[in-house]
A and B are shown apart, each in its own frame.
Chain A
Amino acid sequence: QVTLRESGPALVKPTQTLTLTCTFSGFSLSSTGMCVSWVRQPPGKALEWLALIDWDDDKYYSTSLKTRLTISKDTSKNQVVLTMTNMDPVDTATYYCVRGVIPLFDYWGQGTLVTVSS
């Protein structure tokens, strides 16, 4: 059974750096083809893909957010970490961790709401 769970702060201040952790089970990120992505959704709005890391440690980023994002993995801990620098109120959103067999996304975590406010 594949499960993913996001964790991190619910509230960050503008200009701070956000660090989110995805802890997963039911698959190995060292298996060929496996990947984990981060997708966000502002309240009442659509889904936006942010970043992806695959089994071979290849990393891909949203063009518009590339300078602010870093994705990494710890295969031994079954974790993927996303950092986003210089947070702004427009970054307020639910952040989802998503498993994929590249390039298809199949299992989603429950999401974590991050509010950016002073």
Chain B
Amino acid sequence: EIVMTQSPATLSVSPGERATLSCRASQSVSSNLAWYQQKPGQAPRLLIYGASIRATGIPARFSGSGSGTEFTLTISILQSEDFAVYYCQQYNNWPPWTFGQGTKVEIK
């Protein structure tokens, strides 16, 4: 089973600043990596798939990069609606599909 590790657990950022979130896989997942955003009381929403492809309707301020075992989600200019928990997920070696533990982006 591939273990996904996200860092940091919590990221404190001011609106308008850049946020950089990391995700590491215990073995290569190629580019089969997705990012989800989850706001309080809501279901997760697909942001990025294929490590760098924005899902339909996702603003350009969200970008993903990486391949193999190291991945990054960058939010270029944080808006108030971006404060949420972000999860990475690998879909290269399945089953199982595995998620990271999440990074909470909070207002500084």
Contacts and interface: CB of A to CB of B under 8 A. Distances in A.
Q: How large is the interface on A (under 10, 10 to 19, 20 to 34, 35 or more residues)?
A: 20 to 34
Residue among A47, A48, A104 with the highest chain B CB neighbour number at 10 A: A47
Given A52-B95, A103-B91, A46 B100 contact: yes
Contact of A61 (B1, B95, B101): B95
Interface string A47-71: 1110010000000111100000000
Number of chain B interface residues as a range: 20 to 34
Given A106-B46, A108-B44, A111-B43, A47 B99 contact: yes
Given A103-B91, A104-B91, A110-B43, A48 B99 contact: yes
Nearest to A51: B95
B47 to A, nearest CB: 11
Contacts of A46: 87, 99-102
B39 interface: no
Leading 4 A-B pairs by shortest Cβ distance: A108-B43, A60-B95, A103-B91, A47-B99
Given A37-B97, A47-B87, A106-B55, 18 more contacts: A46-B102, A47-B44, A47-B89, A49-B97, A49-B98, A52-B97, A60-B95, A63-B1, A63-B95, A96-B43, A96-B44, A103-B92, A103-B97, A105-B34, A105-B91, A106-B46, A108-B44, A108-B46
